[in-house]
Amino acid sequence: MDKRILGVTLGVAGIFLWFMPFASWTMEFMGVSSTFFQSGQHIGGIAYLLLFSMFTYSVLSWFKLHQLRIITGALSLLICILFFAQIGSNVGWGLIGLTLISVLSVVLAIKDYMAYKKDKN
């Protein structure tokens, strides 16, 4: 598979996972137990930067701008780590998936940059 399409696929997967549960918890009120979920759109603020960084990663991977891809992938990874620290034990599966996508995107961008440097020299 072409590296551009793989990078765009990772970015789109990150955008999709932004809408999935970042946090989930169960509360009980008057004998009724309810489970609540919170996604990126419910968090707002810095979560929108996470969405924008995944979109930017997709665009930059199409134009083969590897150094900027490393920066946007690292930015999304750092935001995911920040959410992990804030949410604690109530982490949802969407945030776990988004963190894995962020790690993969950084690794792919670094590999592409190293291959680009090798071909250039």
Per-domain boundaries in the chain: 3-120
Q: What does pTM read for this prediction?
A: 0.89
In order, the DSSP letters of 33-86 are: EEEEEEEHHHH-THHHHHHHHHHHHHHHHHTT-HHHHHHHHHHHHHHHHHHHHH
Residues 1-50: tens digit of each pLDDT: 688 899 999 999 999 999 999 998 888 988 899 988 888 888 888 889 99
Structure tokens at 7: 């990078």
| Cα–Cα–Cα angle for 57, 92, 102, rounded to 5 degrees | 20
For the segment 81-94, what is each residue's pLDDT rounded down to a tens digit? 999 999 988 999 99
